[in-house]
Copies of this chain bind each other. A is one copy, B any other.
Amino acid sequence: MISPEPPSGRFDGARHLFAVRVYFEDTDLSGVVYHANYLRWFERARSDMLRLIGIEQRAAHDAGEGAYAVTDMGLRYHRPARLDDVVLIESRVEAVTPATCRLLQQAFRGTELLCAATVRVAFVAPSGRARRQPPAWLAAIQSVHEPVTADGAGHALKGPA
């Protein structure tokens, strides 16, 4: 007997894909997913992305080095998600600086865009102060940083393959 796998995403080129399913915990009495819960899904996807490129957040926390913290976020809700829906979270690194990263994260049900977010995170020391990312982390993230091309404005609106 092989145990079931925990949730795990994968990269398709520089795009990170991660699937979630909607449970009762995610919904509210309006019958659809509560708006704040997309942020939990996006965080799961970011953590999975970091894990896949070799960044160990727990080790960094335990060593007192620091962690990423969200500093800015812009969200647009397009369509609601409902119980049992399978939602695919697509994440792309859009910009990297020594201390910060900016990601585009989008939630799709099939080809329908449900929610799009631009998220900026900064590396912060346990004291709460912003600091440079560990060099190995910066290198790992740059390896999946896809420069926006001339026709890049449109790529965000394409659904997953």
Contacts and interface: CB of A to CB of B under 8 A. Distances in A.
Contacts of A132: none
Contact of A69 (B35, B40, B84, B128): B35
Which of A9, A48, A70, A80 is packed against the most chain B CB atoms within 10 Å?
A: A70
Specify the main secondary structure of chain A where it touches its partner.
Answer: mixed
A30 interface: yes
A144 interface: no
Interface residues of A, number: 61
A72 interface: yes
Contacts of A75: 72-75
Given A1-B161, A24-B29, A47-B23, A77 B84 contact: no
A36 B39 contact: yes
30 contacts: A4-B8, A4-B10, A4-B17, A6-B19, A6-B21, A7-B20, A23-B44, A25-B28, A25-B44, A27-B29, A29-B61, A29-B83, A30-B67, A32-B128, A35-B69, A35-B70, A36-B36, A39-B39, A56-B84, A57-B84, A58-B84, A69-B77, A71-B77, A72-B75, A72-B77, A73-B73, A73-B75, A74-B74, A75-B75, A79-B128
Interface of A: 1, 3-10, 12, 17-21, 23-25, 27-32, 34-37, 39-40, 43-44, 47-48, 51, 56-58, 61, 67, 69-77, 79-80, 82-84, 86-88, 126, 128, 160-161
